[in-house]
Amino acid sequence: MGTVVPQPADAGAAADVPAEGDRRLFGAVERVFYAGYWIKTYPVPVDALRAKSELITALTRRLFNHTEHGVNVPGCRLNEARASYDAEQDTARRRVKGAMLAGALVNRATDIFRRLVELQSDGVDVRADFPLVRECGRCLIEALELSRLVHHRSGEEGIDELWGEPFKVFSIPLEEFFEGRYMKTGQAMRDMDRIAAAMVANFCSIPVFAALEPVVADLAHAARVKVETLRGDPEVFDVWAAFVTAGERMADFLPATQTAASDAERSLNRGPHSVADGLQLIRCGRALIFYIARARTPMPKSTQEYIERCEFYHQHGRLPPMPTPLPA
């Protein structure tokens, strides 16, 4: 599991603090250290065209799992998507069509890479200056440039990193790509733990939500394990089941019977907290943890905004006057 590394007991122990990228064995499992966590590592596939093609296909599928509906446009319709985007004058509609064009470009690049693998299998020497290789790179670069127009499926911030990953696989050694993924995994763990800490700090001192802490802790732990576990790992069945059931326990959480305002609350000129608003905020936090864990990518803007909403609720007893994301 992803584990937070304890701080050294004194200055003399500072040399024992691992550096970013350090690797150690924990039993039979190798882990790498990033962002304060020891993250499970996996063998790097053979750095061949077929391995890269399979990884780009998987990353493309994952990309569309987390983006808004309608952008998974087949690569064979790239010219249609581009013509529609170029002709559109309305700003809002042009954003959507730009997102669709980005999807078509990624799918075109994936199609090209698949054909390159077939050519290589037939004995063709596929070199870096091969025209189809250059075309694949151009498609991925343009898709990345357009990715700023694409929303996350939740309506929250876009996750630009997901659009850059196919190009990274295309352009850099797989060892370097995997190392970058571990860095993002550590950052995702950090964001999820910040969300959990904000929930505990701002809810558990309110009597009706006092029992929430173990529920939050269970979900945060399950999310850290989920975010470091690849789908092909034999443990994924237990990991995913634990993550989903921890999320269900949070979704089903019921507050204790509401009590009268405390003396401390009255002294701060605020009444009891709105239970309905609190439950909505808890479920939004659960949804955000799910978004990050499934994408294995940090969402710093959404994380910070959620923390601020929790602090506002704790202070004022109600949600701030701004929209909140729908629970997953």
Sequence ranges of the domains in the chain: 49-172, 182-316
Q: CB burial class (10 A; 0-12, 13-18, 19+) of residue 26? A: exposed
Q: Tell me, what's the pLDDT at 6?
A: 38
pLDDT tens, 104-141?
Answer: 999 998 888 888 878 877 787 777 778 888 898 899 88
Q: What is the mean pLDDT of residues 14-24?
A: 82
Task: Please compute the mean of the pLDDT values over residues 145-172 and round it to a whole number.
Answer: 74
SS3 content of the chain, % helix, strand, coil (to 5): 65, 5, 30
- Report how far Cα 61 is from the mean position of its chain's Cα atoms: 15
At residue 223 the predicted structure's pLDDT band, cuts being 50, 70 and 90, is: very high
Q: What is the pLDDT of residue 10?
A: 42
Q: What's the pLDDT at 142? A: 93
Number of Cβ atoms within 10 Å of the Cβ of 80? 14
Check residue 266 and give its pLDDT.
39
Average pLDDT over residues 216-221: 97
Q: Is the pLDDT of residue 327 over 80?
A: no
Does residue 169 surpass a pLDDT of 80? Answer: no
pLDDT at 160 over 70: no
Q: How many CB atoms lie within 10 A of CB 207?
A: 16
Mean pLDDT of 215-239: 96
Tell me the whole-structure pTM to 2 decimals: 0.76
pLDDT of residue 89: 95
Report pLDDT for 245.
98
Report in angstroms the alpha-carbon separations of 77 from 82, 145, 289: 9, 19, 35
Most confident of 54-68, 153-167, 271-285: 271-285
Helix (H, G, I), strand (E, B) or coil at 172: coil
